[in-house]
């Protein structure tokens, strides 16, 4: 049974993708912040797919110690039940903020959760992914276009704008996917899904009154999360793996000219340093090869 791990899996796009893949026979590893919501998500999946294998991993992925703990628990589960193999990792967890907020490490929260959490989790699950010629999929956004990485102040400490922070984190998602493909394809393939405007609560969680109000109005024009979930499922199921990078409604889409190898390499080096990775992805790749 192939395994797929999904972060931000208790609602919205994450849950709908988990439901689709469970129906396709995948072993589904759900990661989320709230134990109660994880239990509800698992119960819903099993009510629809009684024979599905579903495992839950509670973690606040904004904090790196929680990412490390969740990764260790996932690896132990994969070793015990899936031959140490992970077919796909879907880095879907994300947030929007109204003001400057930081993690335990002192990192701006949108950058930390939307980018660094997936970067670190992918690093820790890389041997399992490489063992199965797996796939890594990020939840992106068209908002990554028309912006550049603020390399001299990536946390935007000097002049914080929450929308700029969000857009930058989405550019990081696609640069990360580009960097993974540069390093590991065809042994591993990485993608970004542009879900479009979706009826989810991302703009209503831990945001100020203005952002909450605007998002409540804006999301009314969005599609239900089942629609973008189909693209995630497509990228997990398609054989052989598609060659593209950025997808919308199961089709390749153009992306920012900022998505270059130079920028991807620069982001990799910065992210490895911010995550305290000794030897970075190269060292993890060598350990995977020794399995």
For the four alpha carbons of 143, 146, 152 and 153, in that order, the dihedral sign comes to: negative
Distance CA 94, CA 11 (A): 12
Pairing of strands 54-58, 3-7: unpaired
Write down the catalytic residue from 107, 166, 191, 247: 166
Task: State CA 94 to chain mean position distance.
Answer: 8
Neighbours of 237 (CB within 10 A): 15
Residue tagged 């893949």 (tokens): 21
Is 247 assigned a catalytic role?
no
Distance CA 113, CA 172 (A): 11
Task: Please spell the DSSP secondary structure of 94-127, one letter per residue.
Answer: ----SS--B-TTS-BHHHIIIIIHHHHHHHHHHH
Q: Comparing C-alpha atoms, which of 151, 133, 230 is closest to residue 190?
A: 133
Q: In the sheet where 251-252 sits, what is the strand order?
A: 54-58, 27-32, 3-7, 88-91, 135-139, 189-193, 246-248, 251-252
Distance CA 60, CA 109 (A): 12
CA dihedral 207, 63, 129, 244 (to 10 degrees): 30
Distance CA 234, CA 290 (A): 31
Neighbours of 210 (CB within 10 A): 9
In contact, 54 and 5? CB cutoff 8 Å: no
Pairing of strands 246-248, 251-252: antiparallel
Residues labelled as active-site residues: 166
């Amino acid at each position: 049974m192939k395994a797929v791990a999904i972060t931000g899996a208790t609602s919205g796009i994450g849950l709908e993708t988990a439901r689709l893949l469970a129906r396709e026979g995948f072993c589904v590893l759900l990661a989320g912040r709230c134990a109660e919501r994880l239990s509800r998500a698992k119960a819903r999946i099993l009510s629809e797919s009684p024979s599905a294998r579903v495992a839950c991993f509670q973690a606040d992925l904004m904090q790196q110690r929680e990412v490390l703990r969740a990764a260790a628990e996932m690896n132990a589960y994969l070793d015990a039940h899936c031959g140490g193999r992970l077919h796909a990792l879907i880095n879907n967890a994300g947030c929007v903020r109204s003001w400057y907020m930081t993690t335990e490490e002192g990192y701006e929260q949108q950058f930390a959760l939307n980018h660094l959490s997936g970067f670190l989790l992918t690093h820790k699950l890389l041997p399992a992914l490489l063992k199965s010629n797996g796939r890594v999929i990020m939840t992106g956004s068209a908002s990554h276009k028309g912006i550049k990485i603020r390399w001299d102040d990536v946390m935007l400490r000097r002049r914080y704008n929450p929308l700029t922070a969000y857009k930058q984190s989405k550019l990081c998602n696609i640069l990360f996917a580009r960097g993974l493909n540069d390093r590991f394809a065809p042994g591993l393939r990485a993608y970004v899904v542009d879900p479009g405007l979706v009826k989810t609560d991302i703009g209503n969680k831990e945001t100020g009154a203005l952002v909450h109000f605007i998002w409540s109005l804006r999301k009314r024009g969005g599609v239900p999360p089942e629609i973008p979930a189909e693209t995630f499922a497509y990228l997990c199921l398609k054989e052989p793996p598609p060659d593209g990078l950025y997808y919308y409604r199961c089709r390749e889409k153009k992306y920012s000219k900022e998505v270059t190898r130079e920028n991807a390499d620069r982001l990799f080096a910065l992210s490895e340093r911010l995550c305290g990775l000794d030897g970075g992805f190269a060292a993890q790749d060598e350990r995977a090869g020794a399995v």
